[in-house]
């Protein structure tokens, strides 16, 4: 059996059967020689992710630094997986790749920066938190999911409680709310984008949290999968609109596998404070 398929399948079964705690430290499986020299043994979902810093010319080199093979300005919205940092000609370089590894190579560390998330407890108001979701580069997935809930008021309080109280079952109750719909526990078919069996993408039944936490080609792809699970459980766009018109607010946190701090250069060896935070709930 394909090793990557086995890893994904085991992870999915564990998430669906046991219910992962949705606010926990990211597990480390790294080798750090010094601040500049580092590499990781992590699975796809735990590899540090970075973004392209600017739209100017910046290059990815082949492994012997003989040829520029990609221009990062053409990949401004791509999420990069960094698996190694090292010194070359007195500069720090990273080994980077996109999802699936079709675009990969070495680039100067200054060309990319880590996605860093703010701890949800650092926000003081709904508007502060909503602005963060709508503008911060680390919140691409949140913005894609928010499009499925047009005109919904995001509640900071509800978002915090959704993370703290998440289980595989419906929330028994959330203090301050009399009607709660735990979207995080909904289950549906999820097509794993990196696994093909018998010439077709592999699909399995997963809960919403697993879908939100899985690596994917893009935030839009994950949002499409989320939409499919919502609809298969009766939460069509019309139903969601009706709930919002009835006063339901949205609790959302999808800052999974993101760190909260790094040194000025953003070296992967200095990343700290990562948590896995997933929660999606409607309540009033």
Express as a percent the part of the chain with pLDDT over 90.
62
Q: Where are the alpha helices (DSSP H) in the chain?
A: 3-18, 126-135, 140-146, 156-164, 208-213, 219-232, 237-245
Strands 59-61 vs 68-71: parallel, antiparallel or unpaired: antiparallel
CATH number of the domain located at residue range(s) 31-114 in this protein: 2.30.30.170
131 phi and psi, to 5 degrees?
-60, -40
Question: Looking at the predicted structure, is the pLDDT value of residue 24 above 70?
Answer: no
The two tokens of residue 278 are 């997933």
73 by DSSP, 3-state: which? helix
Among residues 282, 267, 222, 275, which one has the least CA distance to residue 112? Answer: 267
Phi, psi of 29 (to 5 degrees): -145, 60
Per DSSP, 45 falls in state: G
Residues 6+ positions from 23 with CB-CB distance below 8 Å? 163, 164, 275, 276, 277
CA distances in angstroms from 214 to 54, 176, 208, 226, listed in the order given: 26, 31, 10, 12
Q: At what angle do helices 156-164 and 126-135 cross, to 10 degrees?
A: 80
All residues at 6 or more sequence positions from 56 whose CB lies less than 8 Å from its CB, including other chains: 73
3-state secondary structure of 161: helix
> What pLDDT is recorded for position 43?
62
Which tokens belong to 50? 């970075």
CATH 2.30.30.170 residue window(s) in the chain: 31-114
Task: Count helices and strands (H / E) in the chain.
Answer: 7, 15
Say if CB 95 and CB 82 are below 8 A apart: yes
DSSP run (H or E) holding 189: strand 187-197
pLDDT bucket at 3, cuts 50 / 70 / 90: very low
pLDDT 10s digits, 132-147:
999 999 999 999 999 9
Structure confidence at residue 21 as a pLDDT band (50, 70, 90): very low
27: exposed, middle or buried (Cβ count in 10 Å: 0-12, 13-18, 19+): exposed
User: Span 70-77, mean pLDDT?
Assistant: 97
Q: Are 185 and 211 in contact (CB under 8 A)?
A: no
Measured CA to CA, the distance from residue 108 to residue 151 in angstroms comes to: 41
Give the pLDDT band (50/70/90) at residue 5: very low
> What's the DSSP call for residue 148?
T
For strand 249-254 and strand 275-283, is the pairing parallel, antiparallel, or unpaired? Answer: antiparallel
121 against 85, higher pLDDT: 85
């Amino acid at each position: 059996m394909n090793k990557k398929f086995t890893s994904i399948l085991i992870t999915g079964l564990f998430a669906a059967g046991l219910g992962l705690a949705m606010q926990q430290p990211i597990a480390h499986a790294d080798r750090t020689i010094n601040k500049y020299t580092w590499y990781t043994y992590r699975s796809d979902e735990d590899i540090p992710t970075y973004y392209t810093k600017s739209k100017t010319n910046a290059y990815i080199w082949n492994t012997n630094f003989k040829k520029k093979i990609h221009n990062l300005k053409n990949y401004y919205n791509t999420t990069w997986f960094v698996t190694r940092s090292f010194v070359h000609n007195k500069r720090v370089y990273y080994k980077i790749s996109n999802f699936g590894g079709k675009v990969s190579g070495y680039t100067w560390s200054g060309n990319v920066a880590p996605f860093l998330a703010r701890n949800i407890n650092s926000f003081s108001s709904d508007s502060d938190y909503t602005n963060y979701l709508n503008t911060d580069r680390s919140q691409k997935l949140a913005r894609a999911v928010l499009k499925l809930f047009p005109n919904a008021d995001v509640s900071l309080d509800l978002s915090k409680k959704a993370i703290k109280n998440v289980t595989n079952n419906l929330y028994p109750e959330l203090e301050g709310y009399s009607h709660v719909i735990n979207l995080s526990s909904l289950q549906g078919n999820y097509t794993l984008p990196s696994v093909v069996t018998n010439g077709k993408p592999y699909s399995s039944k997963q809960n919403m949290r697993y879908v939100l936490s899985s690596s994917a080609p893009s935030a839009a792809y994950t949002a499409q999968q989320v939409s499919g699970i919502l609809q298969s459980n009766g939460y069509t766009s019309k139903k969601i609109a009706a709930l919002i018109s009835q006063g339901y607010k949205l609790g959302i946190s999808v800052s999974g596998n993101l760190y909260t701090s790094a040194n000025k250069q953003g070296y992967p060896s200095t990343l700290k404070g990562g948590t896995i935070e997933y929660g999606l709930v409607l309540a009033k």
